[in-house]
Structure 1
């Protein structure tokens, strides 16, 4: 649906071929919510038990739309008014309502400060709209006439209506209907015609007649509180009770005249603030006293009327009075079925499709969009679905054209200061201070926001969380986060407000937020991996973006590394050529370690080398980079470089020295020096993962049970210390060792390994489990071993973990040896010799020969722990055992 002409856009260009139209996009869900709630209201007021004079019944005749400034609430309010007034103006995508059109009377009232609407005008607007019923409403009209003459002596009501724009909007029937009501009452009281227009005498006579229950005024006697209202001082407070008379009059209209007013109060945030509620009290009283009208209220914040704490500030408060307003806000995407319970609806952002549609129809030439698709895509992505951003971008597009430039997509990678001023306009000074502070954070809670702002009290932060631009995720570690576009604008747009921050202010706020995060991290209960990652993500971003000292990030980084889980960390990968601070280097270090599970090890080496060469990190973190680069060198088969790095870390006697000594033991094992590797393993202890190193030594000797026992001990020790990654890694290697023995046992061990690895990201270890599955299925004709091996080989080469491919060829040699396929074993041996020419893992080709009972022709000879003959016998026995098992048992399905 397209509204009227967009005059601001129309007067921004001399090009008369450009058509500038106000565009309205979808909001179908909100219409469905209104239709469902209004249908329920019509059923309620039409039921026999409905009593408009009941002052105690809970109210369910209010629907609230709230949302961030610029989300489209006013446009929605206007469109609802048009759709309710004229079915022909209803957007085509909105379904037809289920009520007679002539029964609904929409009345929209703009409460914006710029509109200058006061309470008198609100009451007069509702009454003027009701002139459409074509008859006086004497109880209300008489009270209103009395109020008018007391408070506006000498000012004709006609003149006021004209000046307020109500005359042109609703006509001048109201003064005539009021005069007719006055005359009718005077006649009923048999007053002289000369005083029929003197409201004071008519009122006095009517009060007496009502008190005496005279038959002449029986039509008005049914309004139990009319006499009391007419006797009260006709001031503004009394005026706020007169809507009770209006509700009574509406209820007694004859069937052919009955209407249900739908009063749309827009820009509700402009009627005051959370401490001055004078106008809000009058409006709330009006709403309560007119239960047969339906009220649609739109504003930036949720209505607080159901909050018991407001008792005394407002007349009717608490969840018993307003059950629908006490519920948590219903997102706009929910179905209207929720309308009967919750009546506070958060207006959501436009979808990307709606944004594009909106921009395409705002400016056109010859029926075609003036804003090209490439620019629309940029604006849509930057907008986060906020309609105000779309409007500002349209204005920028026209401004660029007016300056003689052809707008380009890069022109719209832009933050608008207007978004800042609109967001801050109705916040207190403390709330603005908190908002700027939390814009530095991805997510926050009230204590964190308070500490980041440097305030001594939580009230401003708590109030800020009630604003619609603060989104609530009750399942998040920190429940609150800013609307994406608002956060970007507050952080990046030019701030023209009087209390704008300097760069020093921003830097101090970043330090406060960083310190507060560190305090929460240190106070967190127990080892919680989710909390650790959340703290690291926020802390790394703050430290990097604001050049902060590492502080608590250093111990947090060690905790992150110790578990070997490797969750991805935000901020994402950085350009490692631009490391300027320790925080830059730490971000790059941890990102490289996490990403090595998805990247080729050569890329990991390059990234870690950049970190090491920057010399920005303290010694302990520098050793972390050295150690993991040495591991990557080992994975790539560069043993000399790996040995140099491991030795440097071991000599440094830091936190990773035991792990580096383990790395040296691995390097000895890789070279075939098993006695040295085993002697080193005995010195490592838990910190050096001694049991896993022992398992790595025993399985190349074909002693699978001993290796499996060592891996089980390593797994249990890791579980005792709460190191998730090591636990899964040890279990995967246990499954690999047992895969050469009993397929049924291997099945169970592989299942456990997959379970333990489900929540960690260990690419090489996962590949080991796949190779173990091949070894488990060795000898089977129905297991597609060769095809699976081909896929695995491609994955291994993508990862750059060369030693894993050697294990794959060993498993293939086992498979072909079991099947007595000597030519295929020979191919596997040749491939192993080719891939171990540098001397590392050269004994793999010897093991393959042992499996097939072939002689060993390659040199050098490894230093086996108990000699070559014993090792050859154990490996050959594994083959013959599998051959026997193959002929006597059914293999489990792969």
Structure 2
């Protein structure tokens, strides 16, 4: 249809078109990405076993619910399956004729019992069963072993039938897996009886692979096959099996070769605070570099965000160059540019296509590529912005001047005028107030607007400029282009806001966020809401120079109380202002970021960051105490006992809300220095907030009084559960596991399993390393303890957790004493002397001597609670008990 305004804008004929292709651009993105993927696979340097190369084997379509993402994926699947089902306007891809295997998997929680990783992997293998028609031993053998272990008594074929995965080829997979077992039995020349048990076949195969037998390596020669077959076949192991599947696919003969294109639909249903399922699916993508993945969901994939380090295995722009927010420069084959595309609003490609088609002259686009690029970037995909840009182009051209890109590097007042023109006064008021927030609900928008009724906000959410994500903390958000224009442009309406109006609205919005968090916290505390309110509140306080941080201080304390440590993104600043915090909100954001990032940074870096934020003088007295306390903790972890004591004393003397914790820190420092009477005397002053049961356990443990230490740690865990403190519960459980590991390895197994379960929901680096030390104690006397300890020693050093080093060396002494390895024991005690040379943890040298039945150090500053001979006898009895347990 012709645009009459364009037609009558000039003496020279201007053509126009309003037509958009129906998902043609999205298909082109997929087709091009698959073509690049195929070129990448054919490149001489491609290695399916390379675990370090960046990954670009996926494309992501994201957008609000109901915009057709699932429909798009179904259409892509049909087009890849049968060219006749491909829309004519989509065209034939350059790789037509290649052996492509599409596999669409709906990850919705309502689909086949939700995003089950077993189901995902079985769906892929079932698809391969039909198209490849042969066993894949490297993958099939561990899969069968996993299935027999995790699903005893339930045949795989029954599961496939029951869950609806069967389709036409449901029986082919069990047959092929049995074929892989038979093939292994034949290749390894095993007795016929062995072939019925996957575990025995796997064991024989591992032995053959370790011995580098040619027939075994021909059967399952992936470099990591033996390692994966040796570990416990649990869900964690299963998530690494795709590496074996990728290797099998890579070595298929030409007539069976296939490139899987795996379409993961409704990806948002895999997400939760801890990203457990997402972590498994990310491994699937990473470990199958020869497969291509098409992902759809409500949100962008954040894998290129370094802040997710620790929550996912592979993060950062170097790992996922196509998932960064901006276009990658000069993409090459196999390493294309951005792979994240918004569905709903027009993609940049569609925007450019629309602008190129909208105005033409002599069959050529009238708007230059440079101008189209600027318009597209500023539009956020909003069609109204594109229309206004076209109108502006015609107006400038009519004056006789040639438009330039700078003419379009701004928002349009008319965009706001058109948006607001049919809104009531109250609706406009709510819209402006809501534009201060990244997302909101009806209550938040109403309170930010200072209104007493929700009707205006309720009417507003029905407008097309408001998007909804029902699964988010706050479901509503304003379209990016409109929000930007509203916040930076002059709307020329009679009721436009002044700078003071915007400031007052920011004050109301910050207060509303605080009320929402405080009211919810008083009923059912929500960690997710707390973090979301902190992020929005910090940005509001910074952007509008709000010096009174009000509830943000309480929220900061609550955030640190739970010891969960989600990233708190600091407010973004222009590059010129990134020299350091210059507002109280900046300082608070940096404080919380430093505290949280200590789980991923050396404790020395944590101390430096906290010192820098303290030096700004921007923190209130309460927040200064918070910074001092965590800096003291960092000093303690680094072995800087005097600096830690000074910091704890400052916080204790202030007698604020962290005083009990500071007194606990001082008690722990007394214990670290071997002054057990002083540490014990402090316990009655600590209470729950000072973690009195845990401190008691820390005192009893060095005395070898394990039964009472276990009871103290058990009481600490119970008290943490009573106070709904997940972080403290995990710490107490890890310590309980450590104590049990010395006395009862069997119980320690169960306690460590619970420890890992609790830690899986948190981000606690030190506690995780402590749990690994406990696992070494449990396994003391066995063969692999020394090698694992060497790896753990490096991790402890990298983390800057000096306090764990003496415990690790003492654990090695226990192991070596049990085995009677006198030379190794002497060398370890020498290292222990070095680690405790400053006087901290000197009692571990006494403990080591007792376990090794060696003379005690001649000079001792340790002030024991019990007779030293009694302490010595307890530790020596733990060694003899373990020797008896192992049959030494």
**TM-score band, normalised by the shorter chain?**
0.5 to 0.7
Query: Deviation of residue 765 (structure 1)?
Result: 1.1
Q: Does the Cα contact within 8 Å between 1:650 and 1:660 map onto a contact in 2?
A: yes
- The 1:348–1:849 alpha-carbon spacing in structure 2 relative to 1, beyond 3 Å, is same
Question: What do residues 564-619 of structure 1 show as CA deviations (whole Å, max 9, x unaligned)?
Answer: 22222244687785433333322222222222222222222222222322333332
Question: What do residues 799-827 of structure 1 show as CA deviations (whole Å, max 9, x unaligned)?
Answer: 22221233223223322332222333233
Q: Does the Cα contact within 8 Å between 1:540 and 1:570 map onto a contact in 2?
A: no
Q: Counterpart in 2 of 1:290?
A: none
Q: Does the Cα contact within 8 Å between 2:538 and 2:571 map onto a contact in 1?
A: no
SS of equivalent residue, structure 1 residue 501: coil
For 1:835 and 1:560, the matched residues in 2 are separated by 34
For 2:832 and 2:374, the matched residues in 1 are separated by 53
Q: Counterpart in 1 of 2:147?
A: none
Question: What do residues 231-268 of structure 1 show as CA deviations (whole Å, max 9, x unaligned)?
Answer: xxxxxxxxxxxxxxxxxxxxxxxxxxxxxxxxxxxxxx
For 2:795 and 2:518, the matched residues in 1 are separated by 40
Q: Counterpart in 1 of 2:831?
A: 831
- The 1:825–1:396 alpha-carbon spacing in structure 2 relative to 1, beyond 3 Å, is farther
- Whether 1:27 and 2:26 are equivalent positions in the alignment is no
For 2:770 and 2:374, the matched residues in 1 are separated by 45
- Whether 1:462 and 2:458 are equivalent positions in the alignment is yes
Question: What do residues 715-774 of structure 1 show as CA deviations (whole Å, max 9, x unaligned)?
Answer: 111222222211111111111111122211001111222222332222211211122112
- Whether 1:875 and 2:875 are equivalent positions in the alignment is yes
Q: Does the Cα contact within 8 Å between 1:446 and 1:461 map onto a contact in 2?
A: yes
Q: Does the Cα contact within 8 Å between 2:393 and 2:403 map onto a contact in 1?
A: no
Query: Deviation of residue 8 (structure 1)?
Result: 6.4
For 1:825 and 1:833, the matched residues in 2 are separated by 12
> Which of 1 and 2 has greater Rg?
1
Pick from 691, 707, 730 the counterpart of residue 728 of structure 1: 730
For 2:298 and 2:853, the matched residues in 1 are separated by 73
- The 1:445–1:659 alpha-carbon spacing in structure 2 relative to 1, beyond 3 Å, is same
Q: Counterpart in 1 of 2:748?
A: 746
Query: Deviation of residue 679 (structure 1)?
Result: 1.6
Q: Counterpart in 2 of 1:566?
A: 565
Query: Deviation of residue 692 (structure 1)?
Result: 0.4
Q: Does the Cα contact within 8 Å between 1:573 and 1:591 map onto a contact in 2?
A: no
Q: Counterpart in 2 of 1:93?
A: 90
- The 1:596–1:405 alpha-carbon spacing in structure 2 relative to 1, beyond 3 Å, is farther
Query: Deviation of residue 495 (structure 1)?
Result: 3.7
- The 1:764–1:576 alpha-carbon spacing in structure 2 relative to 1, beyond 3 Å, is farther
Query: Deviation of residue 860 (structure 1)?
Result: 4.8
Q: TM-score, normalised by structure 2?
A: 0.58
Q: Counterpart in 1 of 2:537?
A: 539
Q: Counterpart in 2 of 1:550?
A: 549
Q: Counterpart in 1 of 2:768?
A: 766
Q: Counterpart in 2 of 1:146?
A: none
- Whether 1:526 and 2:528 are equivalent positions in the alignment is no
Instruction: Give the length in aligned residue pairs.
Output: 578
Query: Deviation of residue 92 (structure 1)?
Result: 0.6
For 1:872 and 1:365, the matched residues in 2 are separated by 95
- Whether 1:433 and 2:432 are equivalent positions in the alignment is no
- Pairing 1:617-632 to 2, within 5 Å after superposition: 617-632=619-634
Pick from 602, 606, 621 the counterpart of residue 604 of structure 1: 606
Q: Does the Cα contact within 8 Å between 2:503 and 2:544 map onto a contact in 1?
A: yes
SS of equivalent residue, structure 1 residue 471: strand
Query: Deviation of residue 11 (structure 1)?
Result: 8.9
For 2:504 and 2:846, the matched residues in 1 are separated by 65
Query: Deviation of residue 691 (structure 1)?
Result: 0.9
Task: State which drifts further: 707-716 or 596-605.
Answer: 596-605
- The 1:439–1:847 alpha-carbon spacing in structure 2 relative to 1, beyond 3 Å, is same
Q: Does the Cα contact within 8 Å between 1:332 and 1:347 map onto a contact in 2?
A: no
Question: What do residues 756-798 of structure 1 show as CA deviations (whole Å, max 9, x unaligned)?
Answer: 23322222112111221122122222xx333433433333233
For 1:577 and 1:405, the matched residues in 2 are separated by 38
- The 1:495–1:573 alpha-carbon spacing in structure 2 relative to 1, beyond 3 Å, is closer
Q: Does the Cα contact within 8 Å between 2:371 and 2:404 map onto a contact in 1?
A: no
SS of equivalent residue, structure 1 residue 801: coil
Task: State which drifts further: 816-825 or 766-775.
Answer: 816-825
- The 1:452–1:884 alpha-carbon spacing in structure 2 relative to 1, beyond 3 Å, is same
Q: Does the Cα contact within 8 Å between 2:345 and 2:382 map onto a contact in 1?
A: yes
Q: Does the Cα contact within 8 Å between 2:672 and 2:840 map onto a contact in 1?
A: yes
Q: Does the Cα contact within 8 Å between 2:6 and 2:15 map onto a contact in 1?
A: no
Question: What do residues 184-240 of structure 1 show as CA deviations (whole Å, max 9, x unaligned)?
Answer: xxxxxxxxxxxxxxxxxxxxxxxxxxxxxxxxxxxxxxxxxxxxxxxxxxxxxxxxx
- The 1:391–1:512 alpha-carbon spacing in structure 2 relative to 1, beyond 3 Å, is same
Query: Deviation of residue 630 (structure 1)?
Result: 0.7
Query: Deviation of residue 24 (structure 1)?
Result: 3.2
Query: Deviation of residue 859 (structure 1)?
Result: 5.5
For 2:17 and 2:782, the matched residues in 1 are separated by 72
Pick from 686, 689, 699 the counterpart of residue 687 of structure 1: 689
For 2:455 and 2:713, the matched residues in 1 are separated by 55
RMSD: 4.4
For 2:371 and 2:782, the matched residues in 1 are separated by 59
Q: Does the Cα contact within 8 Å between 1:7 and 1:20 map onto a contact in 2?
A: no
Question: What do residues 433-482 of structure 1 show as CA deviations (whole Å, max 9, x unaligned)?
Answer: 11110011122222221221122332211110111221222233333222
Q: Does the Cα contact within 8 Å between 2:663 and 2:686 map onto a contact in 1?
A: yes
Q: Does the Cα contact within 8 Å between 1:714 and 1:730 map onto a contact in 2?
A: yes
Q: Does the Cα contact within 8 Å between 1:678 and 1:694 map onto a contact in 2?
A: yes
For 2:572 and 2:835, the matched residues in 1 are separated by 32
For 1:444 and 1:540, the matched residues in 2 are separated by 15
- The 1:405–1:821 alpha-carbon spacing in structure 2 relative to 1, beyond 3 Å, is farther
For 1:813 and 1:487, the matched residues in 2 are separated by 63
Q: Counterpart in 1 of 2:502?
A: 506
Q: Does the Cα contact within 8 Å between 2:374 and 2:405 map onto a contact in 1?
A: no
Query: Deviation of residue 369 (structure 1)?
Result: 11
Query: Deviation of residue 669 (structure 1)?
Result: 1.4
Query: Deviation of residue 6 (structure 1)?
Result: 12
Q: Counterpart in 2 of 1:702?
A: 704
- Whether 1:886 and 2:883 are equivalent positions in the alignment is no
Pick from 625, 644, 647 the counterpart of residue 645 of structure 1: 647
Q: Does the Cα contact within 8 Å between 1:572 and 1:591 map onto a contact in 2?
A: no
- Pairing 1:308-707 to 2, within 5 Å after superposition: 348-351=344-347, 354=350, 383-389=379-385, 415-524=411-520, 525-548=523-546, 549-571=548-570, 577-707=579-709
SS of equivalent residue, structure 1 residue 688: coil
Q: TM-score, normalised by structure 1?
A: 0.57
For 2:434 and 2:380, the matched residues in 1 are separated by 18
SS of equivalent residue, structure 1 residue 500: coil
For 1:27 and 1:874, the matched residues in 2 are separated by 74
Q: Counterpart in 1 of 2:177?
A: none
For 2:364 and 2:770, the matched residues in 1 are separated by 59
Q: Does the Cα contact within 8 Å between 1:363 and 1:370 map onto a contact in 2?
A: yes
Query: Deviation of residue 657 (structure 1)?
Result: 1.1
For 2:4 and 2:790, the matched residues in 1 are separated by 64
- The 1:515–1:793 alpha-carbon spacing in structure 2 relative to 1, beyond 3 Å, is same
Instruction: For structure 2, list consecutive stretches of 5 or more residues without a partner in the other structure.
Output: 28-62, 69-86, 93-296, 300-341
- The 1:672–1:93 alpha-carbon spacing in structure 2 relative to 1, beyond 3 Å, is same
For 2:367 and 2:808, the matched residues in 1 are separated by 57
- Pairing 1:62-211 to 2, within 5 Å after superposition: 92-93=89-90
